[in-house]
Amino acid sequence: MSENQRQILIVGGVAAGMKTASRLRRLDPEAKITVIERGHYLSYGACALPYVLAGEIGELDEVRRTTNGTLRDETFFARVKGVEVLTRCEALRIDRENRRLEVRFLDDDRRQTLSYDALVLATGSSPLIPPLPGTELDGVLALKKVEDAAAIAELVRPEARAVIVGGGLIGLEMAEALRARHMEVRLLEMQPQVLSGILDADLAEQVHRTLRQNGVELHLGEALKGIEEKDGRVGRVITTSGSYPADLVILALGVKPNVELAREAGLKIGVSGAIAVNERMQTSDPAIYAAGDCVESRHQLNGTPLYLPLGSTANKQGRVVADNLGGIDSAFSGVLGTLLVKVFGLNVGRTGLSKEAAEKAGFEPVSILAPSPDRVHSMPSARPILTRLTVDRKSRRLLGAQIVGPGETAKRIDVVATALSLDATLDQLAEFDLGYAPPYSAAMDPLHQAANALRNKLDGLADSLSPLQLKQRLDAGEKILLLDVRSPDEYAEVRIPGATLLPLGQLRSKIAELPKDRLIVPFCKISLRGYEATRILLAAGFDQVAYLEGGILGWPWELERGVVEVKAPTAA
């Protein structure tokens, strides 16, 4: 080791750490780069673990391989990347004054002190384990590391009973994975909905329906109280409302950042509990950088700090750290909270702020929910998606999107995320020259349709109610005429309870029969005809009209099915 050789120490060898190391080596062929990793495994794709357990990815090792099949182990990093990695090695203490890191090798308890010119903390996160009895029992597992997946795999067998605690991303992915392996699956969620904080209640209800249709027993508003032992391992799960037998319990309550090393070194911890960093990914000590699951991010739209650990963010941050250490001035501009999750046949995504979050951030948000086929509707591959867009009323700036459906949602989420990053307005979104060909999209992309519907709402052409808004007003006992403007055949097949049929083609001729003393809510299958009906009613002097956003497709609650006698609408 030469006197002048720069020493870079990186604590953590999964996503952000190895990205930093690999990129920095390419920028700086001279520096000595050492990675300290507590576990056995390096640079693995933790997000793919549910798909290993589902049997979709054939072997656990696959998540540790490069695109061309090479195992990313110490030898690989040494020979190919020129990076030294110490595995089974724990970082114990940072001596900031002397720029030293004390480490311990787990296998032989050997201790060593390493010097650094720059230190990078990529310590990651750990599963949240609630302080409840029984969480330490055999058969109670979280899913975070390769070893966790291996332990869960041991317990996966047909007919075995799994209880998943937590209806977040991992909880839902694991529900699908274990159902794919023919297990009985119960999902507990303390909140009244899954994906709380990610999806609005009416869109979450679409996810609930899909989960139930796929045999997941959903327990909403029900919290874990403890786990009872039987024969030396997990026996029963005790909740606030009941108790259930279990052969396997997955704790999927989220993760917490690993900040002990940073905290003990006196580095600033952010309000979210994760390590605070500046745009260059420096901690409060400029010689110490941090990246990945252990750091706090900033939301691009409201500027507030948030903790949202993701592999995609970790990679971007790792590159920023390497650039700054390698002589390229680089900044990380924050996140939009973009998330995707597949739940059986449903593709779920969100980016940016919900209406509720936007209100809290001081915007005056207006939302719309619009359903559309994801491509030319006559294509047999076409599937519907529900798009909720939120914008600021005055500036018309885009604030966020939630998209759910069996159709292609990820593309539209990425378009909105791009638009959000660049401060686009709703009117710009409506004009984007998006790709159009029947196998991929429609002449009016679902985003264009949603944008135009929201423009109509903002411009005062038609008021509308979200499914949730209508449900709440109906549940409160408000007298509302639910006007189904579809055809008698469509009505006979499936309908919203209490709705009155008046096909759009007859609306102009029978308009005099409709009441003027209450809110009329026209709708159809997708509420395009519902919107047409609204315009016709407004033109005829009705002043209490708001169509149901999303129509039948967007209504997640119970529908009546089967043949009924079709009655003319009454003014009663």
438 in Cβ contact with 432 (< 8 Å): no
Q: Name the one range near its own copies by CB under 8 A: 246-254, 279-287, 419-427, 472-480.
A: 419-427
Distance CA 404, CA 303 (A): 26
| Least distance from its own copies to the Cβ atom of residue 111, Å | 31
- For tokens 């939009």, the residue is 336
Q: Name the one range near its own copies by CB under 8 A: 107-115, 232-240, 342-350, 493-501.
A: 342-350
Binding string, 267-306, against its own copies, x = CB under 8 A?
Answer: ---------------------------------x------
| Least distance from its own copies to the Cβ atom of residue 348, Å | 9
47 is catalytic: yes
Burial 376-409 (b: 16+ CB within 10 A, else e): beeeeebbbbbbbbbbbeeebbbbbbbbbbebbb
If one asks whether residue 337 binds its own copies (CB under 8 A), the answer comes out as: yes
| Least distance from its own copies to the Cβ atom of residue 389, Å | 14
218 in Cβ contact with 122 (< 8 Å): no
The amino acid that residue 477 corresponds to is G
Alpha carbons within 13 angstroms on the beta-carbon side of residue 407 total 27
Of the candidates 33, 39, 550, 114, the one whose C-alpha atom is nearest the C-alpha of residue 321 is 33
Among 410, 474, 492, 511, interactor with its own copies by CB under 8 A: 410
E strand or H helix that includes residue 90? strand 89-95
Number of residues lying near its own copies (CB under 8 A) = 101
Q: Name the one range near its own copies by CB under 8 A: 135-143, 183-191, 225-233, 315-323.
A: 315-323
Among 130, 226, 245, 311, interactor with its own copies by CB under 8 A: 311
DSSP states along 302-355:
T--EE----HHHHHHHHHHHHHHHTT-------B---EEEEETTEEEEEEE--H
Q: Name the one range near its own copies by CB under 8 A: 263-271, 387-395, 404-412, 471-479.
A: 404-412
**Which phi and psi angles does 431 have, rounded to 5°?**
-105, -5
Among 47, 153, 180, 223, interactor with its own copies by CB under 8 A: 47
- For tokens 């519902």, the residue is 530
Q: Where are the beta strands (DSSP E) in 156-206?
A: 161-165, 184-189
If one asks whether residue 362 binds its own copies (CB under 8 A), the answer comes out as: no
Binding string, 145-174, against its own copies, x = CB under 8 A?
Answer: ------------------------x-----
Residues 421-480 that bind its own copies (CB under 8 A): 421-424, 428, 430-441, 443-445, 448, 452, 459, 461
DSSP states along 468-485:
HHHHHHHHTT--EEEEE-
Residues 11-40 that bind its own copies (CB under 8 A): 15, 26-27, 29
If one asks whether residue 328 binds its own copies (CB under 8 A), the answer comes out as: yes
Among 307, 332, 344, 491, interactor with its own copies by CB under 8 A: 332
| Least distance from its own copies to the Cβ atom of residue 22, Å | 8
If one asks whether residue 68 binds its own copies (CB under 8 A), the answer comes out as: yes
Residues 512-541 that bind its own copies (CB under 8 A): 524-526, 528-529, 531-532, 535-536, 539
322 in Cβ contact with 24 (< 8 Å): yes
Q: How far is CA 551 from the centre of its chain?
A: 25
Q: Which sequence positions are flagged as catalytic?
A: 47
